[in-house]
Amino acid sequence: MSAPVVGIVGARGAVGSAARATLLAGGHHAVRAGYRMRRGGFPEGNDPHVDRRELDIDDAASLAAFCHGCTVVLNAAGPSVRIAERIARAADAVGADYVDAFGDRALSAPLAMRPLAPARRVVHCAGIYPGLSAIVPRWLAACHFDRIDALSGWSGGREACTPGAAADVLLSTAQGFGSSGAAWRAGRRVTGAPAAAGMTRIAGFPDEVHVQPFLSDEWAALAADLGIRDAQWHGVFASSRAADAIGRGVVRLRQAGPDALDEAVADLVETARLDLAGQTPYYRLVIDAAGERAGKPLRLRAVLHAADSYRLTGTIAAAAARRLIEAPPAPGVMRAAQLLDWNALHDDLLATRAIESFSVTEAAGCATAGIDEGAI
């Protein structure tokens, strides 16, 4: 019996390369790597376990040929907002399940309107935010709390921004992935969440950062599902320049349409380059949860350290693909947080060095206070 095949769309990119390496390290699945052909051909290397294919996702025949024979198709290319549905339907047409490192409403909404085959499994939000941003809180709620009343989260840092990542950020923000300046208060979505003025210090981040309140569909669903009264997410940037570049880009897209995307992407990529120049890159995810355990108040802070978000995202997406093969859930469209167990994922992230460390500590004081209790 032949090994299951995971086809990676966007295998040349930072996320796709990480997903490919993670799957190959497991040794149980064949990997088909899809590349948009450039001068010079395929990337260097001749791994016999990788079936390298030329792929043009804008060409229906090329995409169908790539998906044929795959057990799972994993999309690591961007912008997911524009291509996820197309790839998911191509995978479905040949009987393959589908994983998207991003996806979210841009994928789930059209699939709800025109569903795939009844037996199909689709996992989206299989990255950091969305993705890990809900996986870790669900684990905290299940393992450490009887009830969570308030939840805060931060993710971001200082790193290079690829054109694909920039396009996804800009398009998803412009098309309703969530709401900037929004929060979950008293069990419902509200607008007008205050942003910190200037640079500020956040526990777990090595330097002062710029934070931007944001409420995604994923976090609104998480808060409603767990019965959380108040929840607030924050995008974290090395300076205000990146947040300003996103704001400018979204305005361009809304005023000028898709033709403005290339200019907005170039602006954001260059802004990230300037923020990174001469500095050490880093990425952090911080979750602060307050609630009750055994009748007593409890506040915990989870801090994840990583060198960059791309390897982390690729490893999470690969874990979702592997789960679909090894322990498939009931068919349907689901977020990765509904599928992946943090304990198993944590082991994968450490084994692949996608993260440097993860800790959970008891926290006191305000949300930006330093960690002041021993690790649990």
Res 176: pLDDT: 65
Residue-wise pLDDT for 175-187, tens only, equals 767 788 889 999 9
Pick the range with the lowest mean pLDDT from 162-171, 263-272, 318-327, 332-341: 162-171
Residue 96 carries which DSSP code?
A: -
Domains with residue ranges and CATH for the chain: 5-127+310-350 (3.40.50.720), 132-309+353-362 (3.30.360)
Alpha carbon distances (Å) from 307 to 304, 312, 355, 356, 376? 10, 9, 7, 7, 23
Q: What is the pTM of this model?
A: 0.92
What is the tens place of the pLDDT at every residue in 335-355? 999 999 999 999 999 999 999
pLDDT at 172: 82
In this prediction, residue 376 carries a pLDDT of 33
Nearest Cα residue to 131 out of 106, 166, 100? 100
Q: Which long-range contacts (CB under 8 A, 24 or more apart) does 170-173 make?
A: 170/79, 170/246, 170/249, 170/250, 170/253, 170/261, 170/264, 170/265, 170/268, 171/79, 171/81, 171/82, 171/106, 171/253, 171/261, 172/79, 172/80, 172/81, 172/102, 172/104, 172/106, 173/246, 173/250
What pLDDT is recorded for position 41? 56
* Paired strand residues for 154: 234, 286
pLDDT at 114: 98
pLDDT the model gives residue 254: 83
Is residue 13 predicted with pLDDT exceeding 70?
yes
Q: How many CA atoms lie within 13 A of 343 on its CB side?
A: 3
User: Which of the four pLDDT bands, split at 50, 70 and 90, describes residue 329?
Assistant: very high
Instruction: Kindly tell me if the per-residue pLDDT of 372 is higher than 60.
Output: no
Residue 49: the pLDDT is 78
Least confident residue range of 165-174, 182-191, 210-219, 311-320: 165-174
CB 263 within 8 A of CB 283: no
**pLDDT for residue 215 is more than 60:** yes
Q: What are phi and psi of 100, to 5 degrees?
A: -130, 130
User: How far is it, in rounded angstroms, from Cα 224 to Cα 230?
Assistant: 10
What pLDDT does residue 366 have?
38
pLDDT of residue 367: 40
C-alpha to C-alpha distance for 115 and 110, rounded to whole angstroms? 8
Tokens of 288: 């602060």
The pLDDT score that the predictor gives to residue 159 is: 95
Instruction: Give pLDDT, residue 178.
Output: 76
Q: Of all helices (H) and strands (E), which one includes residue 148? A: strand 147-158
